[in-house]
Chain A
Amino acid sequence: MATITLTISALPAHVRTARLMAATVARRAGIAAAAIDEIRLAVGEACSRAVAAHKVHCPTQPILLQMTDGTKTAPGRGPDGDAPAPAPHTNGHTVQRFEVVVSDRAPAKDADGAADPVNSVLDGLFLDSDDTPPGGISGFSPGLGLAVITGLADEVRIDPSDQGTVVRMSWPMAAEQAHGPSSN
């Protein structure tokens, strides 16, 4: 199991750095090419969301990313509610996962919205509604980013609190690749 930690200032320019780093680490961990695109996008979304939250609440505080290959999904852990089926087992062992955790320090006042990203997206997409705020993008729902993460990551857990929000995303690693020699 290897962990890489990256701290970025809460600036939009550094979001690209974060997603490139995540894609590189995922590739090195042996993740399939199609999933690397998903990881790049999901990590970018999580960081964009965190940067936007910091801009409002604490622009000088950094945002933390932790990328770990080879985490194991413990029995009973996982997202609440509509959780996917428990991680499949290979030869009796839990499949290893590539996990990215993005932690911000902005107080999550809108915890309900964060817990229900899909509905906030739909709110943001009522294009013909007269009551949509003027100014286009500025009135666009920030829940869209969370909805994209939910759509991309194999497992997602979003924990908002007064100390900040932790977005935990993970993807399964192919068992043989996880244990194979590194080609990089």
Chain B
Amino acid sequence: MDLKLDHYTEGDTEIVVVEGEIDVYTAPRLRELLIDLVNKGNFHLVVNMEKVEFLDSTGLGVLVGGLKRVRAHDGTLDLVCTQERILKIFRITGLTKVFGIHDSVQDAIDKRSAK
């Protein structure tokens, strides 16, 4: 299936809900959304990937790009993902050390607040 994107505000955090396949064809849309959110002053992002069916290195690149942008504003970008097939690509690339990966949106928000 194609890529569906949605987002909503929870406190000082913007939650981005991604559904479908993130690849070389669809990733530019996610990149544009992340850039747009940062440009509008959202520097704490949580990307919920629970409904992502496919993720490739282009998608990883977009997430790393988003992370760079929020970090430039002392912000954060955390991920919500429990799917083994998606987590595997983060492990292969060593990106589990770069991103905070959480079991739920609430968990992601709580962990950041506790820092």
Binding site for B on A (CB under 8 A): 12-13, 15-16, 37, 40-41, 44-45, 48, 51-52, 121, 125, 127-128, 132, 136-137, 140, 144-145, 147-148, 151-152
Binary CB contact string for chain B from 90 to 108 against chain A (1 if under 8 A, 0 otherwise) = 0011110010000000000
Whether, in the assembled complex, B5 has its beta carbon less than 8 Å from a beta carbon of chain A, the answer is: no
Contact assessment for A44 and B92 in the assembled complex, using a CB-CB cutoff below 8 Å: no
Residues of B within 8 A of A44 (CB): 23-24, 54, 56
A60 CA / B85 CA spacing, docked (Å): 34
Contact assessment for A15 and B98 in the assembled complex, using a CB-CB cutoff below 8 Å: no
* Other-chain residue from B58, B66, B95 in contact with A136 (beta carbon distance below 8 A): B66
Residues of A within 8 A of B52 (CB): none
Q: Is the interface of B mostly helix, strand, loop or mixed?
A: helix
Whether, in the assembled complex, B7 has its beta carbon less than 8 Å from a beta carbon of chain A, the answer is: no
Contact assessment for B23 and A15 in the assembled complex, using a CB-CB cutoff below 8 Å: yes
Q: Is the interface of A mostly helix, strand, loop or mixed?
A: helix
Binding site for A on B (CB under 8 A): 21, 23-25, 27, 31, 35, 54, 56-58, 60-62, 64-69, 71, 85, 88-89, 92-95, 98
**Which residue of B has the minimal Cβ distance to A42?**
B56
* Other-chain residue from A12, A144, A151 in contact with B60 (beta carbon distance below 8 A): A144
A156 → chain B, closest Cβ, in Å? 13
